[in-house]
A = this chain, B = another copy of it.
Amino acid sequence: MDVFFLGTGAGVPAKLRNVTSIALKLLEERGAIWLFDCGEATQHQILHTSIKPRRIEKIFITHLHGDHIYGLPGLLSSRSFQGGNSLVTVYGPPGIKEYIEISLKISKTYLKYPMEIVELEEGIIFEDEQFIVEARLLEHGIPSYGYRIIEKDRPGTLLADKLQAAGVKPGPDYRKIKNGEEVILDNGTMIDPTEFVGPPQKGRIISILGDTRKCKNAQLLAEKADLLIHESTFSAGEEAIAHEYFHSTTLQAAETALHAGAKKLCLTHISSRYDRNDWQQLEAEAKTIFPNTVLSEDFMEVLIPYDHDE
């Protein structure tokens, strides 16, 4: 599992940062990519990566500002040309359905794969045996959502050597033990399953937020997250302008990460008023409050390891 930043700029595309899109790569977990936002030219950015559009399974839109959605019709169309035939589900605020449907209708685009569009309400918006995705409203000029992606814990693996030593034979007994059931062997020995299964693998939590002022829901979504991706349109000292335009500063993003007890913070949605020479300073500002901070760049990849400390 890792996060790949396809676009990390704010508002309008710039030479060094495209408008927002983030890929959550779940290739080992489910052979899929989940996309968060799809600013214009996201498909162009993807051309320069190893990401296969046909692997995109879900697209989560945080809010309907142009710099977060204008790449959607093109990406969906091109996925058809590029051999995509599996279902794509798009989640986004009300309005996303009309935008996609009108864009495809007027351009006479017929997708060769099924698409489902889910207009959001707060709460759990997706759950299967692997993941839960929760959405909450943030504070922006228009409805803007943050997403909390919760990987479910995985049961521990069977300790085969120990089972063999105890005289348990591979077969139905193994399955029972794996499922946590007691087993009594032919010789009368009772096998306690907890002793023959390794520790469960704790799932990871990633929090990917849309544009927002500093707010309580951002912190709730980021609670103990392994990775928090938070906008930081402005630098420290620009709190007034950030408030006026419903955005956050480096310091505000770092405070949210700190109060949430997140493990790592990636700053994104960086205004083009800051050039390459300013980036280190922006990161340093956040680090004064939350040391494990990284300022994202286009094409940066961040691994999300399992936490083996717990």
Contacts and interface: CB of A to CB of B under 8 A. Distances in A.
Contacts of A73: 66, 70
Interface in A61-88: 64-66, 69-71, 73-74, 77-78, 81-82
**Most-contacted residue by chain B among A41, A44, A103, A106 (CB, 10 A):** A106
A156 to B, nearest CB: 46
Contacts of A14: 47
Interface string A117-155: 000000000000000000000000110000000000000
A66 B109 contact: yes
B81 A74 contact: no
A81 B66 CA distance: 13
A64 B108 contact: yes
A12 interface: yes
Interface in A89-126: 95-96, 98-99, 102-103, 106-109
A164 to B, nearest CB: 55
How many identical subunits does the complex contain? Answer: 2
A44 B14 CA distance: 8
A40 B69 CA distance: 12
A95 to B, nearest CB: 5
A296 to B, nearest CB: 19
The bracket for how many chain A residues form the interface is: 35 or more
Given A15-B48, A18-B44, 5 more contacts: A40-B70, A66-B74, A98-B102, A99-B102, A102-B103
A11 interface: yes
A261 interface: no
Contacts of A12: 43, 77-78, 81-82
A291 interface: no
24 contacts: A12-B43, A12-B81, A12-B82, A13-B43, A13-B47, A13-B74, A18-B44, A41-B44, A64-B106, A64-B107, A64-B108, A65-B108, A65-B109, A66-B77, A66-B107, A66-B109, A70-B70, A70-B77, A70-B103, A95-B106, A96-B106, A99-B102, A99-B103, A99-B107
Nearest to A40: B74
Contacts of A69: 106-107
Contacts of A11: 81
